[in-house]
Amino acid sequence: MSPAARRPSSGGGGRGRAAKQGTGGRPAKAPARGSGGRAQTGARVTPRRSSAAKAPAPRSRGAGRTGAIRRPGEPHPATSGKGLGGEQIEGRQAVRELLLAGRRRVSEIWISTELFARDGTPDEGVADIVALAAANRVPVAHVARSKLDHRARTDAPQGVIAFAAPLPEADLADLVRRRPGRAPFLVAIDGVTDPGNLGAILRSCEGAGVHGVLLPRHRTVHVTPTVAKASAGAVEHVPIALVPGLPSTLVRLRDLGIWVVGLDDAAERTLFDIGDLAEEGICIVLGAEGAGLSRLVRERCDLLVSIPMRGRISSLNVAAAAALATYEVTRHRR
C-alpha cells in the first residue's frame, strides 16, 4: 500500500499535554479510516494524505561536530542551539559509557583526589573508569574536590567530569532509511526544555531500541551535563538528529510512509490502540512539559493518542509517558 493512500484521522481534540494523558475509548484494534468518515474499529488503519502537503527540502548531511575541544579549565558556555552539545560529561555512569562507546574524542577526565588512596589506587567506584581511560589513552587528572565541584554543572558529579568533543549529529536521511527486517522507529520531541526530562527520555529510548531521536534546533534543550547524567550515558548510544523545524520534518516522515503518532491527553484513542502500526515505520511525538504538542505539530500527526489514567492523578511526567509509549511499540515489535 503506497504512503499516499494511507493516513489515519488525527483524532482531533483540543490542545493537550503530552505529560498529561486523559482517558479515551479503547477499541480492540488500530483505527480504520473510510472515505472521510469517522475512524472505525476492527480493521487496519487506512491513512489519508492531503495532496497539498509537501515534503521539506532534503536536509544536508550533518557531519559530526568534532572541531576543537576547549581546554578543560575554560568555562562551559550555554548551549548555543547550533549543535547538540555534550562537551562536558558528569557522573560515573555517564563518563563510563562515554569511554565504552568510543564515538568521540575525550581530551581529559577529572577525578577528585578523594577517590584515590595514598598510593594512587583508585576507589572501587572509579577503578573501571581509570582503566578505560588508560586503555583509550585519555589523561586522568587528580583534582581537588572543591575545584571539581566549582567546575561542575550538575548537583552531584560524583567526583568525575570528562571533557570531550561535541556529540555528532545523526543524519535524518539515515534514520528514516528502511533496512531488511527493520522499519524506522523514531521519537520526536516538541519543545521539551527540562534537561532532566530529556535525559530520562533518552534513557528510555535507548532501552526500548529506538533508532533515533529528533530534536528541533531551537526552543528545545540540547545535551547539557544534566541531560547526559540523567540519561545514564544513553546520549552516547542513541542517534540524535537536529531538525530545523519539527512540523516540516513530520510532513517529510509522512511522505516517506512513516506513521506520526502524537501523545495528547485530549485524544479519544489510547496508546494501546496503535496495534499493528507499531510494526511499521513509526515516529512517536512528545510535547513540552505543561503546554503539550504545539498546534502545527499536532496538525501534522496522523494519529493522536492518550495514556489512560485510572487513578486520581490526571497527568504523567513527559519522561514517564515516553517510557510507556516507546515500550508499547517495542512490545508489538517482538
Helix (H) / strand (E) element for 318: namely helix 318-333
State the chain's mean pLDDT as an integer. Answer: 81
Scan for cell 570531550, then name that residue. Answer: 164
Residue 174: the pLDDT is: 95
How far is the C-alpha of 128 from the C-alpha of 96, rounded, in Å?
Answer: 8
pLDDT bracket for residue 82 (50, 70, 90) = low
Contact between 189 and 318 under an 8 Å Cβ cutoff? The reply is: no
* CA distances, 158 to each of 17, 90, 109, 201, 203 (Å): 34, 8, 13, 22, 19
Q: How confident is the model at residue 59 (pLDDT cuts 50, 70, 90)?
A: very low
* pLDDT for 181 beyond 50: yes
Pairing state between β 106-112 and 160-164:
antiparallel
List the beta bridge partners of residue 186: 212, 283
**Tens of pLDDT, residues 101-156:** 999 999 999 999 999 999 999 999 999 999 999 999 999 999 999 999 999 999 99
Domain boundaries, the chain: 88-164, 172-333
For cell 548510544, the residue is 237
What digits encode the pLDDT tens for the residues 240-282?
Answer: 999 999 999 999 999 999 999 999 988 999 999 998 899 999 9
Quick one: fold of 172-333?
A: Alpha/beta knot (3.40.1280)
Q: Helix crossing, 195-208 with 318-333: angle to 10°?
A: 10
Distances (CA, A) of 120 to 107, 111, 205: 21, 12, 38
CATH of domain 88-164: 3.30.1330.30
Weakest mean pLDDT among 44-58, 151-165, 174-188, 227-241: 44-58
* C-alpha cell read off for 252: 517529510
